[in-house]
Amino acid sequence: MTAPAASLDATLAALADPSRRAVVGLLRAAPRRASDLADELGLSRPAMSRHLRLLRQAGVIRAGDDDGDGRARPYQLELGALLAVRDWIDDAVGFWQAQLASFAGWAEASASSTSAGRPGAAATRRRRRAGRRP
C-alpha cells in the first residue's frame, strides 16, 4: 500500500466513528480544549482523549499552542487530511460521471440505430408469428 493510500485509510477510519465526526464538526467553528469537547459531547475525559489521539494520528487535527495556563492545549482541524479525502471523493465522482455519460452516449446511439431502419423486437416477433400461420 502506498503512503497516500495508507494515510487516506487512516483518515477514513478515524472519521468512521460518530463521536470523532462530532469532534470535527465542533472544531470547524473554533479550536477547543479537550475538556470542552468532552463536556459538549457528553463523553468522559479518557474517552475524549482516545478520540483525539486517533484523530491526531490520522492527521485530522492537531494540538495548538498552550493557551497560557499550562494545563490544556486547544485542538484545531488540520485541513490536509480532509482535503485528501475530498480529492479522493472528487476523483471517484468524476470517474462515475464519465462512465454514466459514456453509457448514455451508447444508449442514445443504440436507440437511434434501431429507429433508423432496423426493426424493433416487437416488429420482429410479429413477422415471425405471421410467417408460422397457415
Residue 88 lies inside a defined structural domain of this protein = no
List residues bridging with 63 in a β-sheet: 75
Residues 30 and 64 in one domain: yes
Q: Which domain holds residue 26?
A: 3-83
What are the pLDDT digits (tens) for 107-117? 888 888 766 65
- Listed in sequence order, the residues at least 6 apart from 59 whose beta carbon sits closer than 8 Å to its beta carbon are 7, 10, 11, 78, 80, 81
Residues 103 and 78 in one domain: no
Residues 99 and 33 in one domain: no
Residue 115 lies inside a defined structural domain of this protein = yes
What are the pLDDT digits (tens) for 72-93? 789 999 999 999 999 999 998 8
pTM: 0.67
Residues 128 and 72 in one domain: no
Residue 22 has pLDDT above 60, yes or no: yes
Residue 126 lies inside a defined structural domain of this protein = yes
Residues 57 and 9 in one domain: yes
The total number of structural domains that make up the chain: 2
Domain containing residue 53: CATH number = 1.10.10.10
Residues 34 and 79 in one domain: yes
Which residue reads 495548538 in cell numbers? 64
